[in-house]
Structure 1
């Protein structure tokens, strides 16, 4: 079934998120209380709500998106390119730019979005942040009333599960077991907050995010038993 999908119809994506504010004390009293309640199950009693706030980026209600990296195939005969670009800057602006991309170039019913664990994280996170900013949802993220087979989303982790709902496999592990060369990354997801707030180095984060998009595309190719992308086929635009 995967082999029947035209690679040019897929938009691969990944997002990076951080706490909405650099410091817990920047929250107003009501938001502090709401955060304490929201995070109580994960942090238990050993860690205070203030200490745990550095992990707030994983929740759309308390975090924000700092970049969305996307990649797409351009096929010409037996030649192929995988083009990668990133939206970053003020969150509302990057979300509007991403919405425009979906509406203008990936709005057709046959077009699909693909990410790793994206059905659980990236897709709903983007949709929630759009609604928080008052941005109308693009058709590709508006799932209200859609039947499961009508949802235009692919998820490499879900494809790897083969129906096993208990199974979580990281992108890095999938790449390893599928024989995909591991990209040289100098940060991981746990470091994004500090790199953004303490080092003010968005370019370093963008590089990390784009490498994950490329790896997701490589995993998808392996799941189809297609040849992997060569370095010269990957173009940053």
Structure 2
């Protein structure tokens, strides 16, 4: 049961990704062809691979991580705080710093990672980008040989499905139906590419990413039927 999990043993997280380059034309010919093949069935017939390149960030082979935001609970008696921090900069540095966090503070067998749609997106994306950069996977992301019940990952989307695999429920929709303040009051995922490359406003992306991380924690609290975090309980570090 979710209530049996110690909140302090969970690292909540969210990532923001963008295409590896600002424009399709920046890719070499081989990569352009591979992207065209990869997106053949995702694109409408009247969309070229170049016109579809703004979506490249959703694939680890053609995108990169520009921000990882994490949050964790600290419980002291009746006092509850949720601390949020972010890693940003060059992708390799982001991944290495995140790995250090996992290996120094969330390396015990009972420690868990939690994200919304994390099992389908965040966790494999981080792992793939680490492999691409030649970074050895931390234990929490190395799933080889693990049985399903040994995987140290929680996914609020999976928890909300209750065994139903037919539908996808966005974090925004879950927040809405559970009475949680919406995290999408500035930008959404489709705008991150433009904010990063055109506006070059990483601070705006960090704020957006941290709000999603907080919302994942809020959703988890609601799934446990516990009070939501107040603004005073949330600390940016």
Q: TM-score, normalised by structure 1?
A: 0.99
Tell me which residue corresponds to 1:60.
60
SS in 2 for 1:208: helix
Tell me which residue corresponds to 2:141.
141
State how far apart, in whole Å, the 1-side matches of 2:182 and 2:93 are: 32
The Cα of 1:186 is off from its aligned counterpart by 1.1
Tell me which residue corresponds to 1:76.
76
RMSD of aligned C-alpha atoms? 0.7
Query: Would you identify which runs of 4 or more consecutive aligned residues in structure 1 move more than 6 Å?
Result: none
State how far apart, in whole Å, the 1-side matches of 2:51 and 2:130 are: 28
Tell me which residue corresponds to 1:235.
235
- Which residues of 2 match residues 45-56 of structure 1 at below 5 A? 45-56=45-56
User: 2:84, 2:236 within 8 Å by CA — same for their partners in 1?
Assistant: yes
- Which residues of 2 match residues 139-218 of structure 1 at below 5 A? 139-183=139-183, 185-218=185-218
Is residue 5 of structure 2 the alignment partner of residue 5 of structure 1? Answer: yes
Is residue 129 of structure 2 the alignment partner of residue 129 of structure 1? Answer: yes
The Cα of 1:199 is off from its aligned counterpart by 0.2
Change (3 A) 1:196 1:100: same
The Cα of 1:179 is off from its aligned counterpart by 1.1
Q: How many residues align?
A: 237
Tell me which residue corresponds to 1:16.
16
Deviations 1:155-184 (A, max 9, x none): 000000000011210001001111112246
- Which residues of 2 match residues 216-231 of structure 1 at below 5 A? 216-231=216-231
- Which residues of 2 match residues 112-123 of structure 1 at below 5 A? 112-123=112-123
SS in 1 for 2:81: strand
State how far apart, in whole Å, the 1-side matches of 2:151 and 2:184 are: 34
State how far apart, in whole Å, the 1-side matches of 2:65 and 2:126 are: 8
SS in 2 for 1:40: coil
State how far apart, in whole Å, the 2-side matches of 1:236 and 1:71 are: 9
